[in-house]
């Protein structure tokens, strides 16, 4: 009985060896656990960092290529876009957080494929992140967005931005009858069938004499890389008809022609105006509120909107390819043909050069406006 009690009080060598091996293995595995936790948590940190980086790229960078700017490239050439960026210019000290409306529209265009096209141009990194990028303008219920629905846990950054809306001119003879930009259609040209309305663009004045010390945020710049579009709306055209007959007048917009000139090197004058070849993808003509661009000639009831696409003014002012010559003068002429002689909107007697001057005068042209908006980037 005594011998049995002595044996029972001792631990066996087998137990000690097994327990020691177990503790060594346990300690080894346990030391890996903090690293395991840190790795899991690092993704959450990484999501916020990636969202921040993408927010900076979109709000403060103009993207690449910059000249010509990436948003002017066609779908066929979209492979050349290396990096998205919505900022108006690379002058971050003069246009902070100011976005280009053209870049915003191109960015949210459905021709880009989610997530691949955005992953390589805005998110970056080897990890297959999912994301949602959204933009909403102040006072609007419409949210432009790309990407999926964020899960419960994700990284996010919010940027307060302004979006530069393009300039435009609305010419309404019932509001400004007999303006200096058009001929007095009440008393003259009542027996003419062909009437011309021209728009004059002075590249020097627009690119060098802009508001706020030529701040890009308020410029109407025709020259790349910030070459913008312009829009001219001719409204209430019926009111300009001076018909001396009982036969009703029908209006046809027959053609749109572009002419250009530039300052001579001696600065004693400028070269004669000459025609510029155009293509139909350089501008859009919307007649009577139709959202589809018209093919000319086309009948007009009352309104015509001519939208010159971003980058087109640069192309029309480019004499040898590449960037436009800042000494260029441009004349864009719309030809209206009536079915018989009558007075009609006509700019041939106005100054300068018988055209409506598209300039920085807010009486003539609605100047660019910066609208408030908020942009969010969510990454998970």
Chain residues binding other proteins by CB under 8 A are 5, 8-9, 11, 19, 23, 26, 30, 33-34, 37-38, 41, 45, 48, 52, 55, 59, 96-98, 134-136, 138, 141, 143, 145, 155-162, 209-213, 215, 217-218, 360, 362, 367-372, 374-376
| Residue number, 156 or 294, with CB nearest to other proteins | 156
Give the tokens for residue 80: 């050349």
The CB-side HSE value for 131 (13 A sphere, CA atoms) comes to 35
Task: Supply φ then ψ for residue 99, to 5 degrees.
Answer: -100, 155
**Signed CA dihedral, 360, 362, 367, 371: sign only:** positive
Which C-beta is closer to other proteins: that of 136 or that of 243?
136
Q: Which is nearer to other proteins, 81 or 365 (CB)?
A: 365
| For other proteins, the closer CB: 113 or 369 | 369
Cβ distance to other proteins smaller for residue 57 or 334: 57
Closer CB to other proteins, 60 or 189, in the complex: 60
Cis peptide before 297 (omega within 30 of 0): yes
Give least dist CB 307 to other proteins, A. Answer: 21
Instruction: Give the shortest CB-367-to-other proteins separation in angstroms.
Output: 6
- 358 touches 364 (CB < 8 A): yes
Closest approach of other proteins to the CB of residue 374, in Å: 5
Q: How far is the CB of 162 from other proteins (least distance, A)?
A: 5
CB 159 within 8 A of CB 374: yes
- Give whichever of 208 and 281 is closer to other proteins, judged by the CB atom: 208
- Transcribe 310-328 into DSSP letters: TTHHHHHT-SSSSSPPTTE
C-alpha span between 193 and 188 (Å, rounded): 12
For the bound state, the minimum distance from the C-beta of residue 323 to other proteins, rounded and expressed in Å, comes to 24
DSSP string, 188-242: S-TT-SEEEEEEEEEHHHHHHS-HHHH-GGG----STTSPPPEEEEE--GGGG-B
Query: Judged by CB, which is closer to other proteins: 220, or 253?
Result: 220
R_g of the chain, CA atoms, integer Å: 33
Angle at 362 between CA 364 and CA 166, to 5 degrees: 90
- Both structure tokens of 179: 């303006």
Of 340, 357, 349, 171, which Cα lies nearest the Cα of 241? 340
Which of 79, 151 has the CB closer to other proteins? 151
Angle at 370 between CA 140 and CA 281, to 5 degrees: 85
Q: How far is the CB of 27 from other proteins (least distance, A)?
A: 8
Residue among 159 and 182 whose Cβ is closer to other proteins: 159
Query: Minimum CB separation from other proteins for residue 136, in Å?
Result: 4
Minimum Å distance from CB 97 to other proteins?
6
CB of 51 to other proteins, least distance (A): 9
d(CA 161, CA 370): 9
Q: How far is the CB of 230 from other proteins (least distance, A)?
A: 17
d(CA 367, CA 220): 8
The region, left, alpha or beta by phi > 0 then psi within -120 to 50, assigned to residue 317 is: alpha
């Amino acid at each position: 009985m005594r011998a049995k009690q002595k044996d029972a009080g001792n631990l066996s060598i087998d137990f000690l060896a097994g327990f020691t091996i177990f503790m060594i293995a346990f300690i080894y595995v346990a030391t890996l656990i903090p690293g395991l936790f840190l790795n899991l948590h690092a993704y959450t940190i990484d999501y916020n960092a990636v969202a921040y980086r993408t927010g900076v790229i979109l709000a403060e960078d103009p993207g690449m290529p910059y000249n010509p700017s990436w948003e002017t490239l066609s779908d066929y050439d979209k492979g050349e876009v290396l990096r998205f960026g919505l900022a108006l210019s690379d002058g971050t000290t003069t246009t902070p957080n100011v976005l280009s409306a053209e870049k915003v529209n191109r960015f949210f265009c459905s021709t880009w494929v989610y997530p691949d096209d955005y992953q390589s141009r805005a998110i970056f990194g080897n990890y297959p992140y999912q994301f949602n990028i959204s933009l909403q303008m102040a006072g609007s219920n419409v949210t432009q967005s790309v990407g999926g629905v964020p899960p419960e846990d994700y990284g996010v950054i919010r940027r307060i931005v302004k979006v530069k809306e393009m300039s435009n001119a609305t010419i309404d003879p019932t509001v400004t009858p007999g303006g200096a930009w058009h001929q007095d259609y009440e008393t003259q040209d009542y027996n003419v069938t062909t009437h011309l309305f021209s728009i004059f663009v002075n590249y020097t004045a627009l690119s060098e004499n802009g508001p706020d010390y030529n701040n890009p945020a308020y410029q109407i710049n025709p020259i790349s890389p910030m070459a913008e579009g312009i829009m001219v709306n001719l409204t209430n055209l019926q009111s300009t008809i001076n018909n001396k007959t009982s036969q009703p007048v029908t209006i046809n917009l027959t053609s749109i022609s572009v002419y250009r000139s530039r300052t001579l090197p001696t600065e004693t004058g400028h070269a004669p105006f000459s025609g510029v070849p155009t293509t139909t993808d350089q501008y859009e003509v919307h007649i009577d509120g139709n959202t589809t661009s018209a093919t000319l000639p086309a009948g007009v009831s009352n309104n015509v909107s001519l939208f010159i696409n971003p980058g087109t003014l640069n192309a029309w002012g480019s004499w040898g390819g590449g960037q436009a010559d800042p000494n260029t003068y441009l004349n864009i002429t719309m030809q209206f043909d009536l079915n018989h002689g009558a007075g009609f909107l006509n700019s041939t007697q106005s100054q300068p050069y018988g055209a409506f001057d598209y300039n920085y005068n807010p009486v003539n042209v609605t100047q660019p406006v910066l609208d408030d908006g908020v942009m969010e980037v969510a990454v998970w």
